[in-house]
Amino acid sequence: MAERGGTTNRLEWGENGEAEVTTVAEMDAVVDRLAAESAERPIVVELVSPTGATISMGVGRPVTVVNYVGPSLDPPYFQSVGDVSDEEVVFFYRGQWSEYPPESVVPVEVGRQALREFLTTGERPSGVQW
């Protein structure tokens, strides 16, 4: 993966996947494709802003989790808070399976809207309960 920061927003996934995105439509198209391709092995996509702040969400499942890390990369780190899932919540992240707390599960549309808000503002999204 590229180094944090830079001059554009970058969507990253898997061990080597990366795409520069400048519009919500571009980002949505990539995330739609990744979600469809990840039904067998759900993955985490991470959007990196030019400041180095990141937001990530799991794709490929009917539910998701969302994480936000500010530009300093120091705590506090934020994770979505939602309904407690009845199922194991795991996504493939940077080469390994990562399990998430069942209380971090939110609807996929909440995660998608968080990515959109972060892309347009560069700030921690307000539409997610943290």
Nearest to 68 by CA among 9, 128, 23: 128
> If DSSP states are collapsed to H, E and C, what string results for 62-124?
CEECEEEECCCCCCCEEECCCCCCCCCCEEEECCEEEECCHHHCEEHHHHHHHHHHHHHHCCC
pLDDT in tens, the chain (130 residues): 445 556 789 999 998 999 999 999 999 999 999 999 999 999 999 999 999 999 999 999 999 999 999 999 999 999 999 987 777 799 999 999 999 999 999 999 999 999 999 999 999 999 999 9
pTM exceeds 0.85 = yes
pLDDT value of position 15: 87
